[in-house]
Amino acid sequence: MLIKLIKEGIIIKKYIPIVLLCFTLILSACTQLEEDTPEYSGIIVDGKVMGYEYTVTKEENSFSWKVGYKGDITTIEESIDNEDELQNYMMAVSDSKLILSKLIISLSYFIIVTVISFFLYKKNRILKDGAIVVVLASIIALYIAIDASFDLSFALQDIKLHYLRLTAIG
């Protein structure tokens, strides 16, 4: 029985590279996008965070940007004059999205640790030995959340600055 399983394992190991090669070829064929062609027209990229948004659309040889705040959309044609400001706006929105995710994750971690430790303490009173670890984990999560909230505030001010510059230019 053991010899049979070993032989089957060897046979399976022989087919693993073939299966991986086929999977790689299928995956690469499925990821071909229409955007790769020079005559592609349509939405290239978009982003949204806390009311601020942008959408980049390629139309023949030019790029059109729709930037907005809380539904107030302004359409701007990309040019040499506003290219850097548009890129800065896009990066600020992307960065804010990451910072918001960090804030949500750290607050969720803090809440989970706090709730679980509260229930364990109330039910069994078993956190006497591990109380220092739980308090330390909660403090770290709270510190990360507070730091992320300050970062998010600065990032939103940065987005607002770029948005006001773009709408004044556009």
Co-location of 26 and 38 in the same domain? no
Q: Note the residue count of the chain.
A: 170
Q: Of the given ranges (27-31, 55-59, 129-133, 153-157), which has the lowest mean pLDDT?
A: 27-31
| Cα distance between residue 73 and residue 64, in whole Å | 12
Domain housing 133: 33-169
Q: What's the whole-number mean pLDDT along residues 85-92?
A: 91
**Distant-in-sequence, close-in-space partners of 67: CB < 8 Å, separation ≥ 6:** 52, 53, 54, 73, 74, 76, 86, 89, 163, 166, 167, 170
Q: What's the mean pLDDT in 118-144?
A: 78
Across the range 75-84, mean pLDDT stands at 87
Residues 56 and 83 in one domain: yes
SS3 assignment, position 142: helix
Average pLDDT of the chain?
A: 80
128: helix, strand or coil: coil
Q: How confident is the model at residue 152 (pLDDT cuts 50, 70, 90)?
A: very high
If asked whether residues 28 and 56 sit together in one domain, one would say no
Other C-beta atoms lying within 10 Å of the C-beta of residue 142: 16
